[in-house]
Amino acid sequence: PGPRCQVGKFLGRGSYGRVAECTKMGSNETFAIKIVDDLRAGSEEMEAMKIIRSLNPDQNNLIKIHECFQYKDYMCLVYEMLDESLEDFIGKRSFHPAHLCQIRAIAQQMLVALSGLESINVLHGDIKPDNIMFVDQITNPLKLKLIDFGLAVNPQELNVGTQMQINPFRAPEVILGLPLDVSVDMWSLAVVLATLYIGDVPFSYNSDYETIRGLVQLLGLPEDDLLHYGKFSYDFFTYEEESSQPGWRLNTPFEYNLLRSMLAIDPRQRMTPSSALAHDFITMNHLSGERKRSPRTHKPRGSQIASPQVRPTHALSHTYSPSSGYPQPPRSNSLWPTDPPAPHARPITSAYRIPTSPAALRGPGG
């Protein structure tokens, strides 16, 4: 892009530009040049790199920048040449779990990097396998560096509700709309390490809801005060005040909630047509803001939390698995006895096989 560098082959493309090999004119030394087609984004990354220049890049496992310059409508940042990314490393292993000695080395180096950034009050904001790179797998197989500071920021500049990071590496405080600080990077790093350990990401990431649902499955409900003060908590949770055990519960997707209620095994608990017609999935009242929910100013009473509607489990599964905890509409019927049937009573059977997986329930094209 100019008299300073001779561009070679392109190595990859990101949100704002491309990365290519380059050599300085009159030199055989190879660098990586990031050509950013958004001048504002390029300038912000340049400013971030100026801030972290106070840290020794080799000691703190951070990518080293050599220079930056503008060429026409592009911002060009010249970095040291590194090897493959951690994402490539995982892919080449066909997503098999990494060895503990490898995970330990990666964890130690990235913790050093985050510790250095924290010392100068910088939040990286985009920790993921694609932004962790090996330096040289031939001469130093387990040496890594953290790259891409295009979204780095002083956390004090972030407002509550700021959207950042990508799923599945997005911290719960980002999703729930809580105050943000450098600890969001620690969450992302933990997800990266878990991915290395099990060979896949620990949470489903098709949506923020699926991520929160997976988090609840694995770790249980967030603390009451976090849900109370979260700007977006009610997008994922409901506070049940009129309950024998007042507390927070995870919202159920409308379509699954409806089907689960209609498919109740016990006919006495099965949803009636009139109840189904008033369901949010049919009326879509939730889209117009007419769905009744607890006021945001309400403070939960006591510390008791209602059991989540998804059973906590240690299984790191991406497959939706409806639990038996969904609330069922009460339905009284005096024709049904209150005592259990006699042992010789014939069980209720059906000639139809009812699918239970969401994919089967959606049907073709669903």
Is the separation of the CB atoms in 264 and 328 below 8 Å?
A: yes
Residue 149 corresponds to which amino acid? F
Residues of the chain falling short of pLDDT 70 = 1-4, 15, 254-256, 286-366
CB atoms within 10 A of CB 216: 22
Average pLDDT of the chain, as a whole number:
79
pLDDT of residue 254: 66
How far is CA 48 from its chain centroid?
24
pLDDT of residue 16: 72
Task: Kindly tell me the sign of the dihedral angle through the C-alpha atoms of 202, 207, 211, 217.
Answer: negative
Distances (CA, A) of 45 to 12, 35, 60, 144: 18, 12, 18, 20
Using the structure block, give the residue that is written with the tokens 């026409």.
Answer: 72
Distances (CA, A) of 273 to 79, 276, 324, 353: 64, 5, 21, 21
CB atoms within 10 A of CB 326: 16
Annotated binding residue at 9? no
CA–CA dist 170, 149 (Å, integer): 16
Residues, the chain, total?
Answer: 366
The tens digit of pLDDT for each residue in 73-132 reads 889 999 999 999 999 999 998 889 999 999 999 999 999 999 999 999 999 999 999 999
Distances (CA, A) of 170 to 5, 145, 205: 37, 21, 9
pLDDT of residue 312: 35
The tens digit of pLDDT for each residue in 205-224 reads 888 988 999 899 889 999 99
Query: Is-catalytic flag, 181?
Result: no
Domains and CATH numbers, the chain: 5-80 (3.30.200.20), 86-202 (1.10.510.10)
pLDDT of residue 288: 57
pLDDT of residue 33: 92
Which residue in 126, 148, 208, 224 is the catalytic one? 126
pLDDT of residue 255: 61
pLDDT of residue 262: 87
pLDDT of residue 331: 41
